[in-house]
């Protein structure tokens, strides 16, 4: 790029950290032959590929994993146990990002009131800005949960407002939206493009690996097996006039368009101060949840993401000094098989019924009418204030309840939280549970389901939440800025990603990080 200044000391001028929501590792191998040369295959053919990147915690979920790959530690330190939890003292439900003290910018009244209010640990971006105050950190995601969790405390954070089909932020990140964002949003007002858009397949019908199809009809092929209707798609997307966009390839286009404007308008990667750009493509997660990983829709969405990444990477490199951009591609978690795969259709776990039965057990034993304050993210929350008031030993209550709960069909283990408070883990399973346990937010019982079983949820065929390999094993690749081509097959801990990027950027690791850089990374850095 003419006039651009190369960053000092050989470190990247810009790190682009790309997260594809809900993509398991096997998508790369299963669909690799249909990928374009310049998208994900560029990482595979020219970059550094980690074939055994895994999250070493459970229960897996979007928020916890995103926090892990930006803080360098797990929920037991960074405190992000999920999108919501129940306060152990008051019993009230708490949202990770809802902030009544924040004001949404350029959106409908009292909407988009999100911030870092409940984050605990600083991120890689926070560390970069602390050491190099003139560096810029920009985070873009369709889902505000992704944007806030990746963004941390001090960066520019933007997400998609489904009410107006625009990009917004909140008063906790800036006083007002930059002029370029306002101008960008203006192009979508009264624009029929969003209304008239339709999902066009990328391949001929015979070229798809998958055969199950619900809404996509590739070239009139009659051999695709149609899925049974399991509910309204609105159940898996955020409320708003444009909520349908979030579960289609269109959202990837909207994210990419906005990211390109951010690169240009914020002049990312064009001076001597290294910048960081976090981008989360949430559409993959929503499509996989809705249609299942075995669907043509999920496969086609992956191809669309691949083409979008190719275009985005070419554009970013055109705006920065040659060879100065480092791209990272990964995912926040994998996913289960669809519960209704025809050959092995299985029942789902009824968490509402489970919560009611656990509550009835406690009421029968201790009296009263309500002992369970809630069930969320495979955790049962018991009314600790009530137990304390009645002089009960909470650890004894947890153990008795755990022994009763394991009888429920579909459960593989029920672990009382008192077993996770200290000491060394006896096995890798318990270590994953300890890594995912934050005392103030993780509840009293941690529930694990048998492989591939998921909770009942309207409009959802597949989800994450376990410590099984299909949920924890994700793609991880790097390319650009002197990274040598190679493949690391040894196990790598996903918490090491931000620590490794800190090393590449020449800064200290994030303040709360507990991981070390990837073993063997040094020989691939030129």
pLDDT tier for residue 140 given thresholds of 50, 70 and 90 = very high
CA distance 296 to 319: 35
Element (H, E) at 328: strand 325-331
Segment 7-31 shows an average pLDDT of 90
- Do the Cβ atoms of 293 and 464 come closer than 8 Å? no
- CA–CA–CA angle 23, 15, 6 (5° rounding): 155
Of the candidates 202, 301, 283, 297, which has an alpha carbon nearest to the alpha carbon of residue 242? 283
User: Token digits for 254?
Assistant: 């909207």
Question: Which pLDDT score, from 0 to 100, does residue 3 have?
Answer: 33
Q: Would you say residue 232 has pLDDT above 50?
A: no
Report pTM: 0.94
Question: Which pLDDT score, from 0 to 100, does residue 421 have?
Answer: 81
CA distance 411 to 129: 45
Q: Would you say residue 241 has pLDDT above 80?
A: no
Q: Is the dihedral angle over the CA atoms 200, 202, 206, 211 positive or is it negative?
A: negative
List the single range of 275-284, 340-349, 390-399 with lowest mean pLDDT: 340-349
Q: Mean pLDDT for the chain? A: 91
Q: What share of the chain is helix, strand, coil (3-state, %, to 5)?
A: 35, 15, 45
Question: Which pLDDT score, from 0 to 100, does residue 365 have?
Answer: 96
Q: Would you say residue 137 has pLDDT above 50?
A: yes
Beta-sheet strands, E only, within 371-461: 372-376, 379-382, 411-416, 445-449
- Do the Cβ atoms of 210 and 295 come closer than 8 Å? yes
CA distance 331 to 288: 13
pLDDT tier for residue 9 given thresholds of 50, 70 and 90 = low
CA distance 407 to 35: 46
HSE-up (13 A, CA, CB side) for residue 127: 22
CA distance 43 to 491: 19
Q: Would you say residue 6 has pLDDT above 60?
A: no
Of the candidates 507, 499, 475, which has an alpha carbon nearest to the alpha carbon of residue 488? 475
Segment 107-122 shows an average pLDDT of 92
Of the candidates 290, 278, 214, 212, which has an alpha carbon nearest to the alpha carbon of residue 246? 290
Q: Would you say residue 242 has pLDDT above 80?
A: no
Q: Is 387 helix (H, G, I), strand (E, B) or coil?
A: helix
Alpha-carbon distance values, 163 to 193, 242, 262 (Å):
16, 6, 22
Q: Would you say residue 231 has pLDDT above 60?
A: no
* Domains located in the chain, CATH noted: 8-67+96-343+468-524 (3.40.720.10), 351-449 (3.30.1360.150)
Element (H, E) at 42: helix 40-46
HSE-up (13 A, CA, CB side) for residue 269: 30
**DSSP codes, 138-151:** EEEESSHHHHHHHH
Q: Is 83 helix (H, G, I), strand (E, B) or coil?
A: coil
- Do the Cβ atoms of 152 and 123 come closer than 8 Å? yes
Residues 6+ apart with CB under 8 A from 314: 38
- The DSSP secondary-structure symbol of 388 reads H
pLDDT digits (tens, 9 = 90+) for 430-457: 999 999 999 999 999 999 999 989 999 9
Q: Is 93 helix (H, G, I), strand (E, B) or coil?
A: strand
Element (H, E) at 86: strand 84-86
Q: Would you say residue 236 has pLDDT above 60?
A: no
């Amino acid at each position: 790029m003419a006039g651009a200044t190369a960053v000092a000391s050989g470190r990247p001028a810009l790190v682009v950290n790309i997260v594809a929501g809900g993509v398991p590792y096997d998508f790369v191998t299963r669909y690799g032959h249909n990928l374009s040369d310049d998208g994900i295959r560029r990482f595979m053919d020219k970059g550094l590929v980690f074939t055994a990147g895994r999250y070493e915690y459970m229960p897996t979920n979007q928020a916890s994993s995103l926090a892990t790959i930006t803080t360098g530690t797990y929920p037991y330190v960074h405190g992000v146990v999920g999108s919501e939890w129940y306060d152990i003292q008051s019993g009230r439900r708490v949202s990770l990002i809802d902030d009544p003290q924040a004001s949404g910018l350029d959106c409908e009244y009292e909407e988009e009131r999100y911030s870092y209010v409940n984050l605990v640990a600083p991120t890689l971006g926070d560390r970069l800005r602390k050491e190099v105050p003139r560096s810029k950190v920009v985070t873009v995601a369709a889902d505000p949960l992704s944007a806030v969790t990746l963004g941390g405390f001090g960066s520019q954070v933007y997400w998609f407002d489904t009410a107006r089909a625009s990009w917004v932020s909140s008063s906790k990140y800036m006083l007002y939206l930059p002029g370029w964002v306002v101008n960008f949003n203006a192009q979508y007002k009264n624009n029929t493009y969003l209304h008239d858009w339709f999902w066009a397949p990328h391949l001929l019908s015979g070229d798809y690996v998958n055969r199950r199809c619900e809404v996509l009809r590739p070239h009139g092929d009659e051999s695709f097996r149609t899925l049974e209707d399991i509910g309204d798609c609105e159940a898996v997307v955020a409320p708003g006039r444009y909520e349908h966009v979030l579960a289609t390839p269109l959202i990837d286009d909207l994210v990419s368009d906005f990211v390109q404007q951010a690169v240009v308008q914020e002049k990312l990667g064009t001076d001597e101060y290294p910048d960081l750009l976090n981008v989360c493509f949430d559409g993959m997660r929503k499509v996989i949840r809705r249609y299942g990983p075995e669907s043509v829709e999920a496969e086609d969405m992956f191809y669309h993401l691949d083409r979008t990444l190719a275009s985005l990477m070419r554009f970013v490199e055109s705006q920065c000094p040659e060879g100065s951009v480092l791209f990272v591609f990964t995912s926040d978690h994998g996913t289960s098989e669809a519960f209704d795969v025809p050959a092995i259709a299985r029942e789902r776990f009824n968490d509402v019924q489970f919560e009611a039965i656990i509550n009835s057990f406690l009421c029968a034993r201790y009296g009263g009418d309500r002992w369970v304050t809630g069930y969320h993210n495979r955790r049962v929350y018991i009314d600790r204030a009530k137990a304390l008031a009645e002089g009960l030993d909470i650890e004894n209550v947890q153990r008795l309840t755990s022994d009763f709960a394991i009888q429920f069909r579909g459960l593989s283990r029920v672990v009382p939280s008192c077993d996770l408070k200290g000491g060394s883990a006896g096995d890798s399973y318990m270590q994953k549970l300890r890594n995912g346990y934050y005392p103030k937010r993780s509840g009293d019982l941690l529930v694990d389901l048998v492989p591939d079983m998921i909770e009942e949820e309207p409009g959802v065929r597949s989800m994450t939440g376990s410590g099984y390999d299909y949920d924890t094993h994700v793609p991880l690749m790097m390319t650009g800025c002197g990274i040598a081509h190679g493949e690391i097959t040894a196990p790598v801990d996903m918490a090491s990603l931000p620590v490794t990027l800190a090393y590449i950027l020449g800064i200290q690791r994030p303040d709360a990080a507990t991981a070390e850089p990837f073993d063997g990374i040094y020989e691939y850095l030129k």
